[in-house]
Amino acid sequence: MTLHATNDFFIPARTGFPAPAGRALASLQPISVYPAGSEIYAQGEKAGNLYQVEFGCVRVYRMLADGRRQISAFHLSGETFGFEAHPLHHFFAEAIGAVGVRTLLPAQGIDMSSQILPLALQGLVRAQEHLLVLGRQSAVERVAAFLLDMAERQGGLDRLELPMSRTDIADYLGLTIETVSRVFSKLKEKGAIRLISLRSIEIRKWQVLRGMME
């Protein structure tokens, strides 16, 4: 699937998520809109650009030869992704739903390291914290951690939106969709959460979820 982005499109950044930070980095760049499921970059492609999400959600992932997939991160409004240590991409990035992305071109001559470094470090800490979840936490703990993380990134309100499918959640948490579904049901039974719709959740007992993360 090699859909291309509709370029040079102006879209007001209305997302329901917190306003993007650090926009000063490249305010002149236009926003590209990627349709649902389209590829932003692929493993093996030339890397170099950075991308800032304006609205929507992006998944960054890696694949094994047999089709197993691990999503290393979801990126919501205001977050920056596309960091690579080498000339070629090691990961895939795809739009979940329609996504508005500001491409930050590597300015020739100008060193933006000091602006980029904090963003890279943010990603590094996030990844390392996720290692703890994948390496040492049970299915329930993983889902609880995920919900709390998503809630926090959306402003810490009781109600949160899940822009991604169960499959995406499973591939992010290192579980199967069935297990994710079962855990959702269990949390629902316990009254910790309420499913307003499939992609919309209300957290009713923060303490229960927090207690599950230890």
Partner DNA sequence: CGTGGTGTTGATTACTTTCAAGATGTGTGG
Partner DNA sequence: CCACACATCTTGAAAGTAATCAACACCACG
Task: Write out the residues near DNA by the rule CB under 7 A.
Answer: 138-140, 165-167, 174-182, 184-185, 195, 197-199
Rule CB under 8 A: which residues touch a second copy? 60, 62, 64-66, 68-70, 72-73, 83-86, 90-91, 111, 113-114, 116-118, 120-125, 127-132, 134-137, 171-174, 214
What Å distances lie between residue 61 and 72, 100, 149, CA to CA? 5, 19, 18
* R_g of the chain, CA atoms, integer Å: 18
Taking the complex as a whole, how short is the minimal distance between the CB of residue 110 and DNA, in angstroms? 42
Q: Which of the choices DNA, a second copy, none does residue 185 contact, using the CB cut-off of 5 to 8 A by kind?
A: DNA
Give the whole-angstrom CA distance, residue 90 versus residue 41. Answer: 10
Residue 172 vs 184, nearer CB to a second copy: 172
How big is the CA angle at 93 (ends 176 and 14), to the nearest 5 degrees? Answer: 100
Taking the complex as a whole, how short is the minimal distance between the CB of residue 72 and a second copy, in angstroms? 4
What single-letter DSSP state applies at residue 144?
Answer: H
**Angle of helix 139-153 relative to helix 177-189, nearest 10 degrees?**
80
Q: Which of the choices DNA, a second copy, none does residue 140 contact, using the CB cut-off of 5 to 8 A by kind?
A: DNA
